[in-house]
Structure formats: C-alpha cells, structure tokens
Structure 1
Amino acid sequence: MLAETVCSAASAAGLGIAVVTAYRKRFLSATRIAAYSLVPVALVMTGVVGWVSGIVFKPTVWAGFGLLGIAWMLFSVTRFVERRSEGGKGRGVEGAAGGDAIAPTASAPSLGAGRRSAPQAQPKAKGKGKAGGGEDFSDIEAILKKHGI
C-alpha cells in the first residue's frame, strides 16, 4: 500500500513538472518528462510494484541475497589464493593444460630450428646494434641542431 502511494505521488509530481515545462514552450522535453512520470503508475497497475515490495520486505529473500554474496566472496578468495600460491607457474588448470601440449611433436621442429639459429644471429645483431645506434643518435642530434634545440 505504501509503495503504491509513493509511486502515485512520484507520477503526479512528474506530470506537474511536465505541465510547467510545456508552459515554457519546451514541448519535446515536456512529453519526455510526462512519459517518464507515467511509468510508476503503470507499474502499480500491472502489479509489478506489489510483487517487488512483497519480495523486498521478506527476510528470507534478504538472507538469500546474503548467501549469494558469501558464495561470491568465497569464489573470489579461492581464485585469489590459487593465483598467489602458484607464483610464476601459470594459471590453475590453464597453466597445467598449457604445459602438456596436445600434439607435442607437432611444434618440435619449429622450436628446434628457432633455438639453433638464435645463438648464431645474436652476435651479429649485437655488432649491428651498436653501429646502428650511433648513426641514429647522430641523425637525431642533427635534427635537434637544425631546430635550434
């Protein structure tokens, strides 16, 4: 009964605001305000407000929401603890599954070739990196001098 009265008062206030807005020649806004103000009365007439107020004022419903919150908190804590205890090993089931490949020999040739060629390429890259880095800095210095910086 109280919820229906509050909804009716809110609708009446909204319609009053819509009338004042329409008096100021803002018909589009007034129509929008009137539409919003009719929603609470429509909910009362369809019975939704009675259904919701019946749920809200029952202690068993609130106890159920409390239990859902506790369950969610327990899930969150266990996931947090699981991630902390593993450290750098990976993620739970995904980490364990990631270590055991479905077809381990399928990627073996590509991994083997990559490991063999990487040490040969590294000494050459180090020599080029130092020479290339010096040239890059000289280019940058020239650009900065050109702009007077």
Structure 2
Amino acid sequence: MLAETICSAVSAAGLGLAALTAYRKRFLAAARIAAYALVPLGLVMTGVVEWVSGMVFKPTVWAGFGLLALAWLLFVTTRAVERRGRGKAVEGSPAAREAVAPAASAPSLGAGAGSRPQATARQKPQAAADGEDFSDIEAILKKHGI
C-alpha cells in the first residue's frame, strides 16, 4: 500500500513538472516528462509494484539471489583458474608429450636449400643494422621506464 502511494505521488509531481514545462513553451520536453511521470502510475495500476514489493520483502527470494550470486562466483573463479592453469602441462597430459615434428610449424627463416653462401654473407650486415635499431628502441623504452 505504501509503495503504491509513493508511486502515485511521484506521478503527480512529474505531471505537475510537465505542466510547468509546457507553460514555458517547451512542449517537446513537457511531453517527455509527462511520459516518464505516467510510468509509475501505470506500474501501480498493472500490479507490478505489488508483485515487486512482495518479492523484495520475502527472505526466500533473497536466499535465491544469494544462491545465484554464489553460482556466478563459482563459475567466474573456475574460469579464472582454468585460464591460469593452461600454460602448465601435467606429465600424463597430451600437452606434456613432445611433438612429433617440433620444427614443422616454425616459419622458415632461411633462403632455401639451393641458396649460395654469398646470399647469407649479404644478409649479415642487414641483421646487424636491425639489431642497432632495436637497441635504440630499447634505450627509448628504458628512458621512459617501460
């Protein structure tokens, strides 16, 4: 009964505010305020407020919400533990066994079987230049504390 009275009072205050806004020639805003003001009154008339107030004050409902929260907490923690444990392999698990061809999925870095030794000699100065670029980047990152 108290919830219905409060909702009715909120609706009456909202409709009064809408009338004041319409008096100031702001009809679009007044219509929007009136729409919001009629929602609590509509909820009272349909019985939703009585249903919600009856649900809120029952201890069994709160126990149900507690069980739902516990289930959610268990789900989240098991997911976190599962993700954290993926990197570690147990001895009997398939991830712990060696791969049949460990280098099969590694990308090829060389020029191929038919390459000449001169091609690798040309690549060494380029590799040294790349190393210098990375050292510059590392110095910049260290300077900024990263």
TM bucket normalised to smaller? 0.5 to 0.7
The corresponding residue for 1:128 is 126
The corresponding residue for 1:11 is 11
TM-aligned CA distance change 1:113 to 1:34, over 3 Å: closer
User: Deviation of residue 120 (structure 1)?
Assistant: 4.5
TM-score by length of 2: 0.64
TM-aligned CA distance change 1:47 to 1:14, over 3 Å: same
Matches within 5 A, 1:101-112: 112=104
Aligned mates of 1:23, 1:48 — CA distance in 2:
33
Please state if 1:55 is matched with 2:55.
yes
Structure 2 unmatched ranges of 5 or more: 96-100, 113-119, 133-146
Aligned mates of 1:132, 1:73 — CA distance in 2:
49
User: Deviation of residue 55 (structure 1)?
Assistant: 1.1
Aligned length: 117
Matched residue SS, 1:35: helix
Aligned mates of 1:42, 1:113 — CA distance in 2:
65
Q: 1:118 aligns with which of 109, 122, 131?
A: 109
Matches within 5 A, 1:16-95: 16-84=16-84, 86=85, 88-89=87-88
1:37-73 CA-to-partner distances (Å, cap 9, x unmatched) read: 0011011111111111111111100110011111111
TM-score by length of 1: 0.63
Structure 1 unmatched ranges of 5 or more: 91-95, 100-107, 135-149
TM-aligned CA distance change 1:74 to 1:113, over 3 Å: closer
User: Deviation of residue 76 (structure 1)?
Assistant: 1.6
**Structure 2 residue identity aligned to 1:75:** F
Aligned mates of 1:27, 1:52 — CA distance in 2:
33
Matched residue SS, 2:87: coil
Aligned mates of 2:5, 2:61 — CA distance in 1:
23
**Structure 2 residue identity aligned to 1:36:** Y
Matched residue SS, 2:25: coil
